[in-house]
Structure 1
Amino acid sequence: MAGLLQALVAVSEKAAEVARRCRAEEPLFRLLVAEKTGPERNRRFLQDFKTLADVLIQEVIKHDLGTQFPELREHIHGEESNEFRDVEGGTVTVRVCATPEDTAALLLSVLGPEQTRAAELLAEAVHREVTLGDTELAGIDPGVAPGDLGIWIDPIDSTNEFIGGREDVAAIDGIAPGGLRSALVLVGAFDRHSGVPVLGVINEPFFQRDPQTHRWQGRFHWGVAHGDTRLCSLSPPAAHACPPRVVLSRAEGAAVRGALGSLGGGPPHFAAGAGYKLLCVALGLADAFVLSQATTFAWDSCAPHAILRALGGGVVALAAALRAGGTGDPPELVYHRPHPGEAGGERWANRDGLVAFVHRQHLRAVLDALGDLPGL
């Protein structure tokens, strides 16, 4: 498992570099979108795009983890199909080839022959070796075998913000309302038998610009929560007294906004990207992330959920927790059971919404505030 943790961090770093390179090639980037249709489409958006970066990053992670841990190969799941429309309207199956030259040639069939240099840069990023400076990772062994795990990948969470590319969005109380800061790479591992998330990596490819080179720099966070083991690259945020500070989606309904606003923890913050809002809770920038709608999926929440568990918190299913009232511990999200009768990504929707937290008094305050709202 220590080797797997290192591998997850390494692939997240490689994925972040692919994302940065795609953003650096602005004329190319405009060509990298293909509209999702049918069961792949996220119902929340009028237009929902996948990018070549999404697909390529997902396939890099699958390739690298499957090569290093063959027992995982059939249990690595992601948001995206690896089929992409080529320049002539046909379909190309994007994958990592044996050599950088072969990968570049495949990418050229998507990008077109005039984009040779861009394909080469992407292929170089895909095939490069990653050296981690975090020596602590090598000594971590929480005692679970890779063969017992499954993986959920969100190659670029908050794809719309990644496409929009806004770089000058000012943070409010440390929380960026949108822009590139909210585009993350999420890689989480869950126990295939229980569905409980046990390991997570969140990578921020666009954390800050280097003041000398003006190039984007990233950072990553990891957490392990298995059995009695709780290890994390982050320190648990301080337990602020209630009422909690809450971060929400802008699509959240007025009733939920009003109920949470009346808690007295200040007006809710709003941010893009489920992964980013979950990260804000892990960092202590917010005490809870509340979502009443079924617009997040297993790939959005698995990795951050593992980190929150490592910090002593979790992510509960909102509607199920409200149905249970105050009896027992609210049910947390699990990641191994698709919804029967659904197609595409909807099989893995977090149907009951969610509440993410580190400290249980903040979870209880949120549930008490929402307990009497109709329709939840």
Structure 2
Amino acid sequence: MAGLLQALVGVSEKAAHIARLCRHEEPLFQLLVAEKTGPDRNRRFLQDFKTLADVLIQEVIKHDLGKEFPELQGHIHGEESNEFRNAQGETVTVRVCATPGDTAALLLSVLEPERAAAELLAAAVHRDVALGDAELAGAALSIPPQDLAVWIDPIDSTNEYIGGREDVAPRGGIAPGGLSSALVLIGAYDRHTGCPVLGVINEPFFRRDPLTRRWQGRYHWGVAYGDTRLCSLSPPPPPRPAPRLVLSRAEGGPVRAALGPLCGGRDGDGDGLRFAAGAGYKMLCVILGLADAYVLSEGSTFAWDACAPHCHPAGPGGGVVALAGALRARQAGDTGPPPELVYNRPAEGAAGAERWANWGGLVAYAHPQHLEAVLAALATVPGL
């Protein structure tokens, strides 16, 4: 299992390199920015390039993990379909081929005539990654890979990745949007229980090198298995008297109004309310101690968004709970631990990607007292 954790980190680093490459190398960058301009976008492709970048990262992760751990094959899941129709109407299945030349030829069948772009991507797909992380190499774990399955979010917060804003000023350490909120998320869960086990969060755009102007990334890994709780990060700070909460910018007015006073403000404008893009990024803010909880009242996140961050212990009593289920339990007088998200159980009656939505919202929290305060505040909101 320690080898699997290292493999997850390694493929996340390769994925981050591909994400950075698409923004730095001119042949790829021009394809990427063409998606931002509405009617002026590049119409040669029946699917947009940002989707190809997502799919390619996903397929690289599936290929590399499946090759090293054959027992995972068929149990590595992602957000994207890997089938494209090219400009000639032909269906192309994106995959990693045996050689860089073969992979470049396959990608060119989608990107024709952008040969330079296809070759750059193929070279990145086949590059080797060396980690040199002593703490990671020393992690001693014991769970058979054949008991696990994997969720991949190849580029979480894709719209911020495409927008590419680099000048978004953080507030209290939390960026409201921009390139820094685009993450690579890879989480492993127990096939039988659905509980999260291993997670890697990679920040491809953590900071720019002041000399080269190239982006540098960083990664975080976490383990949550039985009584084992390991994390590459330090424990979060003690709980704030008034919690700092991070929300989606699309969160509704009634939820904001209920949570604002909890954070020390009035009329739904609490001093401790923050707003950010990307479910993975908001969960990372809780893990880093920049926020005490992330609250989402709608079913707009999915298993691939939450699995990797859920594996990072955000405090001795932290976790990620299903909001609607937790509210029902409290209304029924149940004072026990609220239901945590699980990742092996598709939603009944839903189809396609919606089968894996976190219906009813979620709360990712670092301290139990803040979870209870959030649930008490939201118990007054109609419709939740």
- State TM-score, norm by structure 1: 0.93
Moved over 6 A (4+): none
Q: What is the rounded CA distance, in whole Å, between the counterparts of 1:30 and 1:176 in structure 2? A: 22
CA contact (8 A) 1:32 1:51 kept: no
Provide the residue aligned with 2:344 in structure 1: 336
Provide the residue aligned with 1:52 in structure 2: 52
Aligned residue pairs, count: 362
Measured after TM superposition, the shift of residue 327 of structure 1 is 1.8
Out of 27, 30, 42, the residue aligned to residue 30 of structure 2 is 27
Provide the residue aligned with 1:362 in structure 2: 370
Assess, with a 3 A threshold, how the Cα gap between structure 1 residues 369 and 82 changes in structure 2: closer, same or farther: same
| 1:83-142 Cα distance to aligned partner (Å, 9 max, x none) | 1232334321100000011111111111112x2122111111110110002112222232
What RMSD in Å do the two structures reach over aligned CA positions?
A: 1.7
Provide the residue aligned with 2:215 in structure 1: 216
Correspondence 1:306 to 2:311: yes
| 1:235-283 Cα distance to aligned partner (Å, 9 max, x none) | 1111223321000001111010011111134241110000000000000
CA contact (8 A) 2:191 2:344 kept: yes
Correspondence 1:9 to 2:9: yes
Out of 287, 291, 302, the residue aligned to residue 297 of structure 1 is 302
Residue type of the alignment partner of 1:262: P
Write out aligned runs for 1:189-338 (5 A): 189-265=188-264, 266-308=271-313, 312-325=317-330, 326-338=334-346
Q: What is the rounded CA distance, in whole Å, between the counterparts of 2:85 and 2:181 in structure 1? A: 27
Provide the residue aligned with 2:82 in structure 1: 82
Residue type of the alignment partner of 2:237: A
Correspondence 1:351 to 2:359: yes
Q: What is the rounded CA distance, in whole Å, between the counterparts of 2:251 and 2:49 in structure 1? A: 21
Structure 1: state its 5+ residue gaps.
Answer: 36-47
CA contact (8 A) 2:296 2:363 kept: yes
Provide the residue aligned with 1:45 in structure 2: none
- State TM-score, norm by structure 2: 0.91
Residue type of the alignment partner of 2:286: V
Measured after TM superposition, the shift of residue 319 of structure 1 is 0.8
Write out aligned runs for 1:59-74 (5 A): 59-74=59-74
Q: What is the rounded CA distance, in whole Å, between the counterparts of 1:156 and 1:339 in structure 2? A: 24
Measured after TM superposition, the shift of residue 367 of structure 1 is 0.8
Q: What is the rounded CA distance, in whole Å, between the counterparts of 1:218 and 1:254 in structure 2? A: 35
Report the 3-state secondary structure (helix = DSSP H, G, I; strand = E; otherwise coil) of the residue aligned with 1:263: helix
Report the 3-state secondary structure (helix = DSSP H, G, I; strand = E; otherwise coil) of the residue aligned with 1:177: coil
Q: What is the rounded CA distance, in whole Å, between the counterparts of 1:246 and 1:255 in structure 2? A: 15
Report the 3-state secondary structure (helix = DSSP H, G, I; strand = E; otherwise coil) of the residue aligned with 1:258: helix
Structure 2: state its 5+ residue gaps.
Answer: 39-47, 265-270
Assess, with a 3 A threshold, how the Cα gap between structure 1 residues 65 and 272 changes in structure 2: closer, same or farther: same
